[in-house]
Structure 1
């Protein structure tokens, strides 16, 4: 296998756009970590046109998946935490090529988990939690219990990721195993929701109640980055201005819901501006308290 890796890296080294290459060996007969291939190569490039391209091939009876990604997309994925397999590859993969120690520096920064990255990830996870939690409450009221269950399970998943991030860790692919050691209470709720003998409606309502008391109390902490943006100028912000802010780009679609909750929890306030005097249209803008 080492000989195969050396030959593959020699080929990739000739491409000046390639910054780093890492390898992930298949840990089992079939592993979702490598999509079942014997070897996964992650090629990091400064060529945006090649990002997300994939190649499957065989060399010396070794089935190989080669995946390309550009640095800008990689940075976004790390913050968003969506592709947890990729984060695992970055942290655990074998570095085969690393020009200007790009990958080594990135790995070190992820392990260090700086405060700004942590605040950003907390805001993203909280906004996703809030969406699923709110939808589950609505489905329960309409007696759509399976939809309510599905959404509260997703909300609980985001809650688990929140407590893991608060502990200074990156959420792994096996979130529930990870959260069991970080916050047994959240893990216990997961067991209650999925394995309790109570009715489906009772299980969903139990978790909704826990979310209301535990996670909603984290709103100020999790929305710190958004609150800081609101306080960064004296003039109130329109929704459009906030959605164009680079720091809030990852929660653009969830901003209306989050802002509404911040106002109701008296963590932000609405300011009314006249948009069109002729038709008496008033614009809602937002600022800190």
Structure 2
């Protein structure tokens, strides 16, 4: 495998558009990390025309996947919810790295700076909120399996919030990671998945725990959004907020999040007149 990687690296060095290449081998016990391929190559290219491109091939009996990405896109993925990408950066072998771009990016990920941590907390909380509320609704309608599926997903987002608060990146195997960091959250996972109580009782237990433990984290998890709202005196419209690159990763859940922040009195909803007769536009501010 090492000889093959050296051959590939030599070929990539001849391409001036390629600035960095990282190689991730299939660790067998976690084939999903490389989408089942023997070798995954993350290729960072300066060419926009060649970015967001996937190439599958076999060489010397090794099944290889190439993922081509532009630096801007790569950094957007890091800010979002891409646990596989974090693992590629941290565990991959750097085969080519012009201007030490990939090495610097790896150090940034390892340091987990405040801005990145805050953004990921906001992303995880917005997704927690959606699945938590959906579970409550399904439970009221007696759709017990749907309520179970959603509260399990909400619990996973809760675990990731705890991991980020501890200064770590959530891994793919989140429950193995959370077991030592927060036994209480892991215990809830066990109660939900293995308890002899009815499905309804198990869901109710976790919903109650979420209500008391995670909803209290709302203000702390929404710091990036709150900072944007206080960045100007004029209230923001929902459309303005959705267009901001800093909120791109939560755009689908932003209306729900704004509504919940208003109800918790963490932000204010302001009704403003506009050009449409008898219509008041709702805007948001601190």
Question: For the Cα contact (< 8 Å) 2:86–2:109, is it kept in 1?
Answer: no
Q: Measure, in 2, the Cα distance between the counterparts of 1:248 and 1:24.
A: 30
Question: For the Cα contact (< 8 Å) 2:132–2:150, is it kept in 1?
Answer: yes
Residue 4 (structure 1) aligns with: 4
Give the superposition deviation at 1:246: 2.1
Distance 1:184 1:241, change over 3 A: same
Give the superposition deviation at 1:86: 2.0
Secondary structure of 1:63 counterpart: strand
Give the superposition deviation at 1:276: 4.2
Structure 1 runs not aligned, ≥5 long: none
Residue 270 (structure 1) aligns with: 269
Distance 1:29 1:238, change over 3 A: closer
How does 1:215-254 map onto structure 2 within 5 Å?
215-254=214-253
Q: Deviations over 1:65-110 (max 9, x none)?
A: 222222122111111123x222111101111100000000000000
Give the superposition deviation at 1:130: 0.5
Residue 280 (structure 2) aligns with: 282
Residue 188 (structure 1) aligns with: 187
Following TM superposition, the consecutive aligned residue runs of length 4 or more in structure 1 with deviations greater than 4 angstroms are: none
Q: Measure, in 2, the Cα distance between the counterparts of 1:247 and 1:56.
A: 33
Asked if residue 70 in structure 1 is aligned to residue 39 in structure 2, the reply is no
Give the superposition deviation at 1:30: 7.6
Residue 51 (structure 1) aligns with: 51
Structure 1 vs Structure 2 CA RMSD: 1.5
Q: Measure, in 2, the Cα distance between the counterparts of 1:98 and 1:256.
A: 41
How does 1:1-289 map onto structure 2 within 5 Å?
1-28=1-28, 31-82=31-82, 84-276=83-275, 279-288=277-286
Give the superposition deviation at 1:197: 0.6
Give the superposition deviation at 1:274: 1.3
Q: How many residues of Structure 1 are paired with residues of Structure 2 in the alignment?
A: 286
Secondary structure of 1:43 counterpart: strand
Question: For the Cα contact (< 8 Å) 2:87–2:171, is it kept in 1?
Answer: yes
TM-score by length of 2: 0.96
Give the superposition deviation at 1:177: 0.5
Once the two structures are overlaid, the 10-residue window that deviates more, 122-131 or 1-10, is 1-10
Q: Measure, in 1, the Cα distance between the counterparts of 2:223 and 2:29.
A: 44
Question: For the Cα contact (< 8 Å) 1:46–1:71, is it kept in 2?
Answer: yes
